[in-house]
Amino acid sequence: MRGMVEVRFHGRGGQGVVTASRLLAEAALLEGKKVQSFPAFGAEREGAPIRAFTRLSDTLIRVRSQIYTPDVVVVLDPTVIRAENVTEGLKDNGWLIVNTAREPGELKKELGTKAKVATVNATSIALELLGAPRVNTPILGTLVKSTQLVTLDSVISVVNSTFKGKVAEANVKAVERAYREAKIEEV
């Protein structure tokens, strides 16, 4: 990685948006990168749209604002796409990663983005393996597969240190499955 990479996460309260941002930052930290991870929400309730941000860099990060021109946008809840302009500011050569059963090309056309698109049915994976629609760990599997910002091993290590026992095992399986099942736009 050269320079700074900025990632903006979109989702709804209760889906693990803030945790996904933090896990990505911790995986990058394991790899010796400089990181920032922070949420943007007020007195939100479960189900309300929220954002979280992660910056990764090989050098000291001096900027302290929200992310307005992300290199990567990660959407944990596809219904947020109708509520917010998730591609706002997304760089043309960036990545849009969405939790949906839809094909990347279909979503790219609908949203009119020039960014590369990757999709995965993270909800289905989460329900099956975690027993709840907590899509934060599966979406990280797709993020890693498409962007290669961090390694799969780093994400798995962070998941294992964050969660314990059977919960950790299930989340690792969710990350690995989403990594395998990611649909990445042919470029």
Strands (E), 13-158: 34-40, 49-57, 72-75, 95-99, 116-120
The residue among 177, 178, 153, 158 whose CA lies nearest residue 168 is 158
pLDDT tens column, 17-45:
999 999 999 999 999 999 999 988 655 56
- Rounded Cα distance, 150 and 148, in Å: 5
Sheet of 4-12: strands edge to edge?
34-40, 49-57, 4-12, 72-75, 95-99, 116-120, 183-184
Q: Give the pLDDT confidence score for residue 15 in this predicted structure.
A: 87
The bridge status of strand 116-120 relative to strand 95-99 is parallel
The residue among 150, 145, 125, 147 whose CA lies nearest residue 135 is 125
| Three-class secondary structure of residue 64 per DSSP | coil
Q: Phi first, then psi: give them for residue 12, nearest 5 degrees.
A: -125, 150
Q: For the chain, which ranges sit under pLDDT 70?
A: 1-2, 41-46, 187
Q: Give the pLDDT confidence score for residue 33 in this predicted structure.
A: 97
Q: What percent of the chain has pLDDT over 70?
A: 95
DSSP state of 174: H
* Start-to-end C-alpha separation, the chain: 20
Q: Give the pLDDT confidence score for residue 45 in this predicted structure.
A: 65
Residue appearing with tokens 């990347």: 104
Total structural domains in the chain?
A: 1
The structure tokens listed for 76 are 């944990």
The residue among 24, 41, 185, 6 whose CA lies nearest residue 105 is 185
User: The CATH number of the domain where 115 resides is what?
Assistant: 3.40.920.10
Q: Give residue 170's domain range.
A: 4-184
The residue among 82, 83, 80 whose CA lies nearest residue 12 is 80
